[in-house]
Structure 1
Amino acid sequence: MAKLTITNNLRRLRFDANEMTQKDLAEKVGVTRQTIVAIENAKYSPTLELAILISRVFGKPLEEVFNIDDAA
């Protein structure tokens, strides 16, 4: 099975949310700014719990925040 890549729209969503900073988002979901940076850069896949918390911050369904790129 090919490895799946999780992509996200965090940067755009932060911008649309009154230019929310990475630090602001991190504080809202209880992680470090570095964790948000790693997620945005697809270096780290969030846990399901964290992904749900992030989607709730933006008031968006999970599928509008995170996507799975399964093209091999």
Structure 2
Amino acid sequence: MAHRRKARVVRWPVSSSVIKTVGYDPARRLLDVEFHNEHVYRYEGVESTVYAEFMAADSKGRFFNEHIQHGYEFERLT
């Protein structure tokens, strides 16, 4: 897992009361999510369709809770 941890994924600000930034690497199917508490989590194996739906969701926090949080392997980066 250490090789994934070193992989750099650029994150961009999003409009959400819970999530601060989101980054996605489609080649490696890595999704990084930074919360307003400054913690960053990396989710593995996230399909590009799920990422697109996440970014289009009216409530990113709700979408995250319902479709990402418990559906993928993850690690805390910070």
TM-score grouping bracket, smaller chain normalisation: 0.3 to 0.5
Instruction: State the TM-score, normalized to the length of structure 1.
Output: 0.33
Kindly indicate which of the two structures has a greater share of residues assigned to strand. 2
Kindly indicate which of the two structures has a greater share of residues assigned to helix. 1
Larger Rg, first or second structure (1 or 2): 1
Higher relative contact order (CA 8 A, sep 6+): 1
